[in-house]
Structure 1
Amino acid sequence: MRLDHVRRLSGPNVYLSRPVAIARLDLQGLAGHETTDHPGFAARLVDALPGLATHHCAAGRPGGLLDAMARGTYFGHVTEHVTLELSGAIGREVFFGRTVRAGGPADYDVVLECPRDEPAGSTVVEQLVALALRTVQGALAGRVPDPSADLARVAAVHEGERLGVSTAALARAARRRGVPVRRVGGLNLLRLGYGRYRRMIWAAMTDATSAIGMEVAGDKRLAHRVLADAGLPVPEGRVAASPAEALEALRGIGGPVVVKPLAGHQGEGVHIGLTTAPEVVAAFASAAGAAGGGGAAGEGGGEVIVESYIPGKDYRVLVVGGRVSAAAELTAACVAGDGAATVAALVDRVNADPARGAGHDRPLTRLALGPAELALLARQGHGPGTVPAAGERVWLRRNANLSTGGTSRDVTGEVHADVADLCVRAAAAVGMDVCGIDLRLPDIGSPPPAEPGAAGILEVNAAPGLRMHLAPHEGAARDVAGDVIDLMYPAGTPSRVPVVSVTGTNGKTTTVRMIARMLELDGRRTGMTSTEGVHIGGRLVHRSDASGPRSAEMVLGDRSVEAAVLETARGGIVRRGLGYERADVAVVTNITRDHLGVDATEDLDDLTGIKALVAEEIRRGGHVVLNAADPPAAGLALRRAVRDRRPVLRYFAPSPGEPVLAAHLREGGVGYCVADGWLTEARGDRRTRILPAADVAGSFGGHAGHVVANALAAAAAARALDVPVETVARALRTFDPHTHNPGRGCVYLVSGNPVLVDYAHNPAAVAAMGALVERRWGTGGVAAVTLPGDRSDELVGETARALARTFGRVVVYEDEDLRGRRSGEMTRLIAEGLREARPDVRHHPAGDLKGALTSALDMAGPGEPVLLLYEKLQPVAELLDTLGARPDEAAGGQSPEGQVTGSPT
């Protein structure tokens, strides 16, 4: 077996609402083999990975996989389960897997759930699949494979990539509250919310955290000054830049003292309870080595602070938004003797706790036996090889930091009101929205002693770690991450802007542009994605084919956006998933034959399943707009995943008599149709006129039925977002194609001939354009066409046959991007399709766009229309400019503004 490639779908997708990776396997010589063809294989595999015995598989119960292997199953399926088992073994807990045929007889796609916040560039899943293949092949070779060494290396990569404990808790808390979450790269930086409600948080530092507060908290000397000026108790301290100055501080303060870096963090270089000159000199060297630049100007590198030692217990109090969120009593790193084990063995025993890890990856940090620990052991008469007496507590550190192996006990319920007030005042004095207050005092449950030096605030910590409160060694866990998210999004505060997602085979771009115009005229700054690019507030800010997830994320990350309208194309769904979660409105214009033969999309059912995701991925109670006259689109309402969202269904159709729409209206539903020549909103028996169909700009006086259908869909979506009927009408009446819908149904005059420019490239779209030409000009005219090369031969032929039913003269040209075809191949396929439908058709090959349009114009009679189909709009615009073309505004049938609209009947 061989791993061909892995691709990721980072958003909701056709398999799962969470991210997945799809691994393409080539089974090679194992194609067609089943597990029963290899005696002893299953037993050896389970010996290597005993957890496989509990896998449910399709049986829905433990042991299901064992039964499947006993009956005989393919090796792609086995690899899926082995990968999931290996994933769980490294703490990467994912549970969904599926194996499907792909491509040739030996090709399989293994679909595997991925953690929500795993970086997009992570290679962990590739490494796990590769290891799973080696494990399966080892069992096939007659061995009981041992993947532990390789798995340890993968685990190390995973540990380095996963979110820290605090950030992961913040992400979970946000999702529990319905706040969208996106991790930024591989950082502990999260983007929360959509559009104008978008916020950022980096660990426990919010985007509202004061930069000045951060500077003050990071400079212990300045922090103490600010706190003392506010009348808050702090230890007496002096800054020392040399051993001599440190000794002078010791003499001035009197022992015992604490020596620590002026700008240190995480307890590094902190030395406590020093009384002698040699201790202070040694501590100065350690603390100065651990010191970084401090202060607003970066001063303090190598400087240390010597301060009075305050007796008592160590506490960390978390202040969030001006109130105490949690409090913990901290105990420094230590081991308890049993009279038999050495200090080193006791350390190993403690570190075996799965809650302990390196750095901040786990609730607790592993104990170490470094220079600082060995020095403190020596002061207690111990070393790594000594055996402490039973019950003897041996300290490895004096400073009570989780980062150096300490533990925490929750004391939130014990905090005295005076202590809470002191901590809240300290946070306010420094200017922090979220901070950790380190203090020492005899008992947090009693008022702070008034005597000088009996209690004090040691530090104010910006971006404090949350793990001591989330998973204390003793006591109740506190939802401090939830408190931080509630600070950012107080109760009743939205985190999302309205999101409209539009999909379908034809009409997506036009419908998106219509909806965006309606929202803009309603006074909402709108972000829009389409095949032309990304627009914010009506301005093109990023030119590309922006109908996929990356462009959706671009819009939703813009803090000026008040509403989002997203074109959501098939390709983006298949290759990367959706770029959003839970739209408010989903629109499906139609589902017809297109893109068949691309990305394993073999038939209309496959295409329907892909586009259905847009209707399925809406918020509960959201709106789904469906084409009642298109059976595949209308049928989406019957899908279980759509029904589970309990949507408000809004159907549209050209006629109120369309059976699906008529039945919906009889049940009191909402629909949109053309009645007595007017675009009409129907609610049960009530009718509200929007505007005459002939007045829809770009509809050619109502002759372009597909444009009218797009207008109905857009009206349905806008009304779902409470856009007034009058605004909908004004948007549709002024929706000039050349300005608001370039490249879609635009007519230009070239040497007296109307040239109709459109993007039609499938049978239904080409047929619609042919019908329009005949209705508007009363003749078939001439067509200059190209078609995408990535469609199947059958679909290219079908599109050509649809073209020939209207146009007896056709110029065929090839786009610059052949999409994998050989030169001349598309011209031949199109010509064959044309002749098959209409033997008398005159077709003429052209080498390029310019040659095609010039030839078509030469073939056309005076005033006869020319249909120009294209792949890229920019070359068309440039060519028309060189030919002196001018827009023919009258051709679209726009009527003057001023009709009475919004009239109930």
Structure 2
Amino acid sequence: MKTKDIKFLDIRHLRGPNMWTYRPVLEAIVDIGDLEDCPSNTIPGYYERLKDMLPSLYEHRCSYEEPGGFLRRVQEGTWPAHILEHVTLELQNLAGLPGGFGKARGTSERGVYKVVVRAWQEQVTHAALHEARELIMAAMEDRPFDVKASVEKLADMVDSLCLGPSTASIVDAADDRNIPCIRLLETGNLVQLAYGAAMRRIWTAETDQTSAIAEGISRDKDLTKTLLQNCGVPVPEGREVDSPEDAWEAAEDIGLPVCVKPVDGNHGRGVFIDLNTREEIEMAYKIAVDEGSGVLVERSIPGSEHRLLIIGGKMVAANRGDVVKVTGDGKHTIRELIDIQINSDPRRGPSESHPLSNIRIDSAARIELSRQKLDAESIPAEGREVLIQRNANHEFDVTDEVHPETAALASLAARIVGLDIAGIDLVVEDISKPLAEQGGAIVEVNAGPGLLMHLKPGVGKPRPVGKAIVEHLFPNNGTGRIPLVGITGSYGKTTVAQIIARLLTLSGKHTGLVCSKGVFFDRRQSETGDCARWEHMNRLLMNRAIEAAVFENGSDTIVGEGLAYDRCQIGVVTNLDVARHTGRHYIETPEQVFNALRTQVDLVLDDGAAILNAKEPMLVDMAPLCDGEVIFFAYDPALPVITEHLEQGKRAVIVRYGQIMLASREGEVSLAKLKDIPLTEGGKNVEQTENVLAAVGATWALGVSPDVMRTGIETFFVDQE
């Protein structure tokens, strides 16, 4: 077996919709060499070893559409490329990326396969492919493979490279609303929702509507408290202090117990509550002063700390913090008890996927322990409860318990500071009663609040906070889409793209065009050369000035890179000459060419349209694949396809009586005479006439007026010259 191997000839990242699926994938060209003669059922013990190494493969249904289906295929006999697909997906699943699309398909070259797997993040999937190959070869050769270490390696990559759970919840909610997303940083949480002029940006729980001034105010706790107090919002009495001695004087003036905290700290660092002695207060000052630019001393409010999440002026979630205690056993130190009784909870951990943080002996915990005449190395007696933190993780969901007056006050606090999304911290004994009845108060207003506590509360119902943020950014079921036109086919694509862009510009929209002649913004060319590539298209979609976009997509782009957009309003297929598309990327048959070019039709939205050449039988076959309307165009109006289409009350763009006609249920309307359209040479140039028909069909579907279309096509060639 050692002379047999699985080799990667090439691995391509298809970064957008492609001939396989709507989602980004890695397409690996794999050579299994002599293993072509060794299906899995011919290798002694292979099935048992693979199943033992990765028992969760049982959940893969494969072609049998039932649990255990894939393993049954392995037992009956399948090839390494197919196994590579499933093992890669399962390793990603175990690393925290569940589900996913996969395919393994042979090529005309013996032993060479295309293995396609869903790629949430390119580097993670690339590593998973290689780990899967090693696992498969180990199972074949009956040698050890450390699955746990492999999964841990991938999980670490997921934690560092993929979107954090808070940002992912927003992106997933946008995806559910069919709003496109673009990640703007390769390893960060800055994400663009929607395209062009319709875009919004998020950075976890901050948006492009989050004011920098408001964020600055929220960091200054003293200023925040002053603004809230001036507007009648209950806040704790207190003031800023400048020395340990001043902190004690302030505490005496306010009345014990007090809270000491940084003026502009965050995440609870340097915050000490319920301090009663001068020693505690002065010690707390010395720690708090290092966490910010100043220190506040405030009256301690009785009760538990609560976090209310405000989005767009509405409270959408609320959590309550709780005290953290350990119980002595007479054997272990407090530090050890924390690890045994608290940090062993699987919900706790250092990563963003853990809803609860690990508890550590920090300065606040040391003060709590000293109050109890203990330290981290003390061994408490059996049964003795030891308080570690008074307000730890906001573990308990209490959204349904919040009193309406309290929710309204929290919303008011966010508006006073100026935040569209805010985490309002308040202390109260009973969240179901108004603050005024029990002396409760708002103690902090936070910009960019954490969402994980609401997505995965320790106790209680998860709240759809990502959905609430998307609804705030895109109210009234807005999709965040701009008119987007994609053009593919065998020839004429560039001309059609240029005409469509010209007509959209004339209609009053700032239009971006990416084609094989460059990148254009309205009539200005910003880049030259063949720019019909994913990179150029993606950049254009990030331009806030763009109100409409037109993209030329060659088959090489679809097959080798994927498309830059998830869906489009208009998909144009100009024509189809199979020979122009074969011989590259292992595309060798008419069926494969069809599957590549149909991608453009697959992406049309249900309120959009596919513009197809009626004289091409393969393009006519694409019509049923379109989720939206189909508008055929034809130089010959007598084609049976056109006749049938019009009889069904559908639209077409045709040539009749030397004129371009807009044909619909209402009849045929003349748009322009061919003799007035320079590009068509009076209709003698059939190919260019078809290009004009395709462009007219696309802009007609987008609602461009006949007058604008007529002016555009009659002046197009003249303007270009």
Amino acid at match of 1:445: S
2:171 partner SS: helix
Q: Which runs of 5+ in 1 are unaligned?
A: 292-299, 401-405, 741-886, 888-905
* Residue of structure 2 equivalent to 1:867: none
Q: Which amino acid aligns with 1:496?
A: R
* Pair 1:456 & 2:441 matched: yes
**Matches of 1:55 and 1:339 in 2, distance apart?**
49
| SS of corresponding position for 1:511 | helix
Q: Does 1:623 align with 2:609?
A: yes
Q: Distance in 1 between matches of 2:173 and 2:118?
A: 21
> Does 1:697 find its partner at 2:678?
yes
1:17 aligns with 2:22: yes
Give aligned-pair identity as a percent: 34
Partners of 2:251 and 2:29 in 1: how far apart? 68
CA 564–128 in structure 1, closer or farther in 2 if over 3 Å, else same? same
1:718 CA displacement: 0.9
- Quick check: 1:615–1:624 contact (8 Å CA) kept in 2? yes
Report the AA paired with residue 110 of structure 1.
V
Task: Determine whether 1:100 maps to 2:105.
Answer: yes
Q: Is the 8 A contact 2:425 2:444 kept in 1?
A: yes
Shift of 1:706: 0.6
Instruction: Report what 2:399 is aligned to.
Output: 412
Cα distance between partner residues in 2 of 1:162 and 1:395: 37
Select the residue among 50, 63, 69 that pairs with 2:68: 63
* Distance apart, 1:520 and its partner CA: 1.8
What amino acid does structure 2 have at the position aligned with 1:123? Answer: Q
> 1:494: Cα distance to partner?
4.5
Report which stretch shifted further, 580-589 or 134-143: 134-143
2:643 partner amino acid: A
Do the aligned residues in 1 keep the contact of 2:287 with 2:363 (CA within 8 Å)?
A: no
CA gap 1:5/1:265 in 2 versus in 1, 3 angstroms: farther
Indicate how the Cα distance of structure 1 residues 211 and 134 shifts in structure 2: closer, same or farther if over 3 A, else same: same
Where 2:389 maps in the other structure, the secondary structure is coil
- C-alpha displacement of 1:254: 3.6
Contact map agreement 1:271 1:398 (CA 8 A) in 2:
no
1:470 CA displacement:
2.3
The answer to whether the 8 A contact 1:499-1:564 is kept is yes
Identify which of 623, 631, 636 aligns with 1:650.
Answer: 631
Instruction: Measure how far apart 1:253 and its partner are.
Output: 3.2
Per-residue Cα deviation, 1:434-477 (whole angstroms, up to 9, x for no partner): 111101122221122368xx322111000111222222222222
Partners of 1:514 and 1:680 lie apart in 2 by 17
Code of the residue aligned with 2:714 in structure 1: it is: R
Paired AA for residue 507 in structure 1: G
Contact 1:695 1:702 in 2 (8 A): no
Instruction: Kindly state the Cα deviation for residue 369 of structure 1 after the two structures are TM-superposed.
Output: 4.6
| d(CA) in 1 for partners of 2:51, 2:86 | 11
Partner of 2:213: 212
Please tell me the residue identity of whatever aligns with 2:504: L
SS of alignment partner, residue 472 of structure 2: helix
Tell me what 1:431 maps to: 418
Q: CA separation of 1:52/1:494 partners in 2, compared to 1, >3 Å: closer, same or farther?
A: closer
Residue in 2 aligned with 1:361? Answer: 353
Range that drifts further, 321-330 or 311-320: 321-330
Q: Distance in 1 between matches of 2:330 and 2:612?
A: 76
Deviation at 1:649, TM superposition (A): 1.3
Give the aligned partner of residue 422 of structure 1: 409
* RMSD of equivalent CA atoms: 2.5
Q: Which runs of 5+ in 2 are unaligned?
A: 1-5
CA distance in 2, matches of 1:337, 1:104: 69
* Aligned residue number for residue 295 of structure 2: 304
Residue 3 of structure 2 corresponds to none
Counterpart of 2:139? 139
2 CA distance for matches of 1:663 and 1:384?
86
Q: Deviations over 1:144-175 (max 9, x none)?
A: 53321232122112112222222111111212
Q: Distance in 2 between matches of 1:265 and 1:683?
A: 63
| CA deviation after TM superposition for structure 1 residue 626, in Å | 0.6
Contact 2:178/2:479 (<8 A) preserved? no
8 Å contact 1:337–1:346 — kept in the other structure? no
Contact 1:653 1:674 in 2 (8 A): yes
The equivalent of 2:599 in structure 1 is: 613
Question: Any conservation in 2 of the 1:165–1:363 contact (CA below 8 Å)?
Answer: no
Q: Is the 8 A contact 1:342 1:388 kept in 2?
A: no
Alignment of 1:706-721 (within 5 A): 706-721=687-702
Which of 454, 463, 468 aligns to 2:453? It is 468
1:641-678 CA distance string (max 9 Å, x none): x15x2x21111111111122222122222111111111
Q: How does 1:655-734 map to 2 (within 5 A)?
A: 655-684=636-665, 686-734=667-715
User: Partners of 2:322 and 2:181 in 1: how far apart?
Assistant: 34
CA deviation profile, 1:90-139 (whole Å, cap 9, x unmatched):
11113321112357434333211123xx3xxx421122122212212222
Q: How many residues align?
A: 712
- Distance verdict in 2 for CA 1:385–1:599, change over 3 Å: farther
Relative to structure 1, is the Cα distance of residues 396 and 570 closer, same or farther in structure 2, using a 3 angstrom cutoff? farther
* SS of match in other structure, 2:516: coil
Q: 1:388/1:483 Cα in 2 relative to 1: closer, same or farther (>3 Å)? A: farther
CA contact (8 A) 1:246 1:306 kept: yes
| Larger relative contact order, structure 1 or 2 (CA cutoff 8 Å, min sep 6) | 2
Contact 1:47 1:144 in 2 (8 A): no
User: Is 1:442–2:429 an aligned residue pair?
Assistant: yes
Partner residue of 1:47?
Answer: 52
State the TM-score, normalized to the length of structure 2: 0.93
Relative distance call for 1:537 and 1:348 in structure 2 (3 A) is: farther
Of 285, 304, 312, the residue aligned with 1:321 is: 312
CA-to-partner distance for each residue in 1:770-810, whole Å, 9 max, x for gaps?
Answer: xxxxxxxxxxxxxxxxxxxxxxxxxxxxxxxxxxxxxxxxx
Residues 1:172 and 2:172 aligned together? yes
Q: Deviations over 1:3-34 (max 9, x none)?
A: 44432222122111112112333334534322
Change (3 A) 1:70 1:341: farther
In structure 2, relative to structure 1, the CA distance for the partners of 1:4 and 1:316 (3 Å cut) is: same
1:683-709 residue CA offsets vs partner (Å, 9 max, x unmatched): 257111111122222222222111100
The 2-side partners of 1:339 and 1:475 are apart by 34
AA matched with 1:443: D
Write the distance in 2 (CA, Å) between the matches of 1:374 and 1:157: 35
Following the alignment from structure 2 to structure 1, what is the Cα–Cα distance between the partners of residues 493 and 164?
41
2:492 counterpart of 1:507: yes
CA contact (8 A) 1:313 1:440 kept: yes
2:91 pairs with 1:90: no
Aligned with 1:12: secondary structure? coil
CA distance in 1, matches of 2:60, 2:477: 42
**2:654 partner letter:** C
Q: Secondary structure of 2:693's partner?
A: helix
Query: Per the alignment, in what secondary structure is the counterpart of residue 436 of structure 2?
Result: coil
Q: In 2, distance between residues paired with 1:125 and 1:181?
A: 20
Residue number in structure 1 paired with 2:78: 73
AA at the equivalent of 2:25: V
Q: What is the distance in 2 between the residues matched to 1:270 and 1:720?
A: 61
**Does structure 2 retain, via aligned residues, the 8 Å contact 1:696–1:711?**
no
